[in-house]
Amino acid sequence: MELVIGTKTWSTWSLRPWLALKRTGSPFTETLVQLREVETSTAEILKHSPSGLVPVLKDGDLTIWDSLAICEYLAERFPDAKLWPADPADRALARAAASEMHSGFASLRGECPMDLSLRTVAELSPATQANIRRIVELWSGLLERSGGPFLLGDWGIVDAFFTPVATRFRSYGVHLSDYGDAGEAGRYAERLLETPEFLDWERDAVAA
Ligand SMILES: N[C@@H](CCC(=O)N[C@@H](CS)C(=O)NCC(=O)O)C(=O)O
């Protein structure tokens, strides 16, 4: 299997399936495309990706070009990794939360792009503040239901989807207690940044 990803400091969409694939324990080839290189990025990505975007997973003849579709494929290909919860209701909630991240929170994504090397305190727009309040509400509700430590109990794809959000909160000095968090959401964000898989990704990003 080959996973084509973008620059580790910035590529949130690449981080998600990379974490999931690492979790499976299956060996894979990682192909890194440097993003934001005006002369080369687009052409390099198009060598691998019909959509012109990374990440892309290649498995034999198969090419999958979207982060959520890649994660779904990994969950089916590696059932022992339990990347989605076993319980149907929990699985539906995990999918709803991951999908909300995949298609939503545009203001937060636009205003606070992932940059693992950045530490600042940002003035956030009302729309971004509303996104953060919704994330706190979502995380708190799921953590209360599951009892943690991750959103639906054990770490899974839904947690991979929110890991870039946790890096944004750290980079932009966001304190979740200012957005309705009684403590659990903030502790969850810290937990996401302490998984061995994320620490490996971050080490590679810093070394690059
Ligand atoms: N919906 C896609 C979004 C992928 C995406 O936007 N990828 C960005 C990098 S994080 C990209 O390839 N941008 C092209 C570029 O920067 O040249 C997914 O979930 O995989």
DSSP the chain: -EEEEE-TTT-HHHHHHHHHHHHHT---EEEEE-TT-TTTHHHHHHTT-TTS-S-EEEETTEEE-SHHHHHHHHHHH-GGG--S-SSHHHHHHHHHHHHHHHH--HHHHHHS---TT--------HHHHHHHHHHHHHHHHHHHHH-SSBTTBS--HHHHHHHHHHHHHHHTT--GGGGT--SHHHHHHHHHTTSHHHHHHHHHHHH-
Q: How far is the CA of 55 from the centre of ligand 1 (A)?
A: 7
pLDDT grade for 40, boundaries at 50, 70 and 90:
confident
Q: How confident is the model at residue 38 (pLDDT cuts 50, 70, 90)?
A: confident
DSSP label at residue 37: -
- Determine if ligand 1 sits within 6 Å of the CB of residue 101: no
pTM as predicted: 0.97
Peptide bond into 149 cis (omega under 30): yes
22 pLDDT more than 90: yes
Q: Where do the CATH 3.40.30.10 domains begin and end in the chain?
A: 2-81
Q: Whose CA is nearest to atom 1 of ligand 1?
A: 66
Which pLDDT band holds residue 39 (cuts at 50, 70, 90)? confident
Report the residue among 54, 67, 73, 105 best suited for mutation to probe ligand 1: largest number of ligand atoms under 8 A from its CB. Answer: 54
Architecture of the domain spanning 88-196: Up-down Bundle (1.20)
Q: How far is the CA of 145 from the centre of ligand 1 (A)?
A: 32
Model pLDDT, residue 5: 98
Q: What is the CATH number of domain 2-81?
A: 3.40.30.10
Q: Is 99 in the pocket of ligand 1 (CB under 6 A)?
A: no
Q: For 155-204, what is each residue's pLDDT tens digit?
A: 999 999 999 999 999 999 999 999 999 999 999 999 999 999 999 999 99
Phi, psi of 60 (to 5 degrees): 60, -125
pLDDT for residue 208 is more than 90: no
Of 148, 157, 23, whose CA–CA distance to 80 is shortest?
A: 23
List where CATH 1.20.1050.10 sits in the chain.
88-196
Interval 76-97: pLDDT, tens: 999 999 999 999 999 999 999 9
Instruction: State percent of the chain over pLDDT 90.
Output: 96
